[in-house]
Structure 1
Amino acid sequence: MTTTRTTDHYPTRHHVEAEAAPTPRTHPTVWGTDADGPFDEAALDEHERHGFTILQDFITPTEVETFTAELNRLASDPTLRGDERVITEKTSGEVRSVFQVEQLSEQIDALTRDPRLLHRARQLLGSDVYLHQTRVNYMPGFKGTGFYWHSDFETWHAEDGLPAPRAVSCSIALTPNYPFNGGLMVMPGSHQTFVPGIGETPDNNHAESLKEQTVGVPDEESIADLAHRCGVDQFTGPAGSALWFDSNIMHASANNITPYPRSNIFLVFNSVANTPVEPYAARTPRPAHIAARDFTPLH
Structure 2
Amino acid sequence: MQLSEDQVRQFEEQGYVFLPSQFTEAEVAAMKADIPRIFAMDRQEVWREKDGKSVRTAFAAHTYSEPFHRLAHHPRMIEPVKQLLGGDVYVHQFKINGKEAFEGDVWQWHQDYGTWKRDDDMPEPRAMNISVFLDEVTEFNGALMIIPGSHKAGVLEAGHDLETTSYPLWTLDKETVARLADEGGIVAPKGPAGSMLMFHGNIVHASPPNISPWRRMITYISLCHCDNHIRQFKRPEWIAHRDFTPIECMADDCLLDLSRQPAE
Q: TM-score with structure 2 length normalisation?
A: 0.89
How far is the alpha carbon of 1:51 from its aligned partner? 0.5
Amino acid at match of 1:104: Y
The answer on 1:47 being equivalent to 2:11 is: yes
- Can you list the C-alpha shifts for 1:109-161, whole angstroms capped at 9, x where unaligned? 11211111111111011010000000111111111112110001101100011
The residue that corresponds to 2:255 in the other structure is none
- Secondary structure of the 2:222 match is strand
- Partners of 2:24 and 2:59 lie apart in 1 by 24
Q: 1:296 aligns with which of 241, 245, 256?
A: 245
How far is the alpha carbon of 1:194 from its aligned partner? 2.5
Checking the alignment, whether the CA contact within 8 Å between 2:127 and 2:224 is kept in structure 1 is yes
RMSD of equivalent CA atoms: 1.8
Q: 1:131 aligns with which of 91, 107, 116?
A: 91
Q: 1:167 aligns with which of 96, 106, 127?
A: 127
- Partners of 1:255 and 1:148 lie apart in 2 by 10
How far is the alpha carbon of 1:196 from its aligned partner? 3.1
How far is the alpha carbon of 1:210 from its aligned partner? 7.4
* Correspondence list, 1:141-160, <5 A: 141-160=101-120
- Secondary structure of the 1:216 match is strand
How far is the alpha carbon of 1:268 from its aligned partner? 0.9
- Can you list the C-alpha shifts for 1:271-293, whole angstroms capped at 9, x where unaligned? 01211123xxxxx6211100011
* Correspondence list, 1:10-21, <5 A: none
The answer on 1:216 being equivalent to 2:170 is: yes
- Partners of 1:156 and 1:209 lie apart in 2 by 20
- Can you list the C-alpha shifts for 1:237-262, whole angstroms capped at 9, x where unaligned? 01110111111100000001010101
- Partners of 2:167 and 2:226 lie apart in 1 by 30
The residue that corresponds to 1:12 in the other structure is none
The residue that corresponds to 1:61 in the other structure is 25
Amino acid at match of 2:190: T
- Partners of 2:215 and 2:50 lie apart in 1 by 17
The residue that corresponds to 2:80 in the other structure is 120
- Partners of 1:172 and 1:137 lie apart in 2 by 11
The residue that corresponds to 2:253 in the other structure is none
- Partners of 2:241 and 2:116 lie apart in 1 by 11
* Correspondence list, 1:1-299, <5 A: 38-76=2-40, 80-81=41-42, 83-91=43-51, 93-198=53-158, 211-213=166-168, 216-278=170-232, 285-299=234-248
How far is the alpha carbon of 1:220 from its aligned partner? 1.5
Structure 1: where are the runs of 5+ without partners? 1-36, 279-283
- Secondary structure of the 2:36 match is helix
Checking the alignment, whether the CA contact within 8 Å between 2:91 and 2:241 is kept in structure 1 is yes
- Secondary structure of the 2:34 match is helix
The count of aligned residue pairs is: 248
- Partners of 1:241 and 1:293 lie apart in 2 by 28
Q: TM-score with structure 1 length normalisation?
A: 0.79
Check 1:232–1:70 CA distance in 2 against 1; reply closer, same or farther (3 A cut).
same
Structure 2: where are the runs of 5+ without partners? 249-264
- Secondary structure of the 1:277 match is coil
Amino acid at match of 2:118: A
- Partners of 1:288 and 1:274 lie apart in 2 by 17
How far is the alpha carbon of 1:63 from its aligned partner? 0.9
- Partners of 2:84 and 2:238 lie apart in 1 by 24
The residue that corresponds to 2:257 in the other structure is none
- Secondary structure of the 1:121 match is helix
- Partners of 1:275 and 1:42 lie apart in 2 by 29
Checking the alignment, whether the CA contact within 8 Å between 2:105 and 2:165 is kept in structure 1 is no
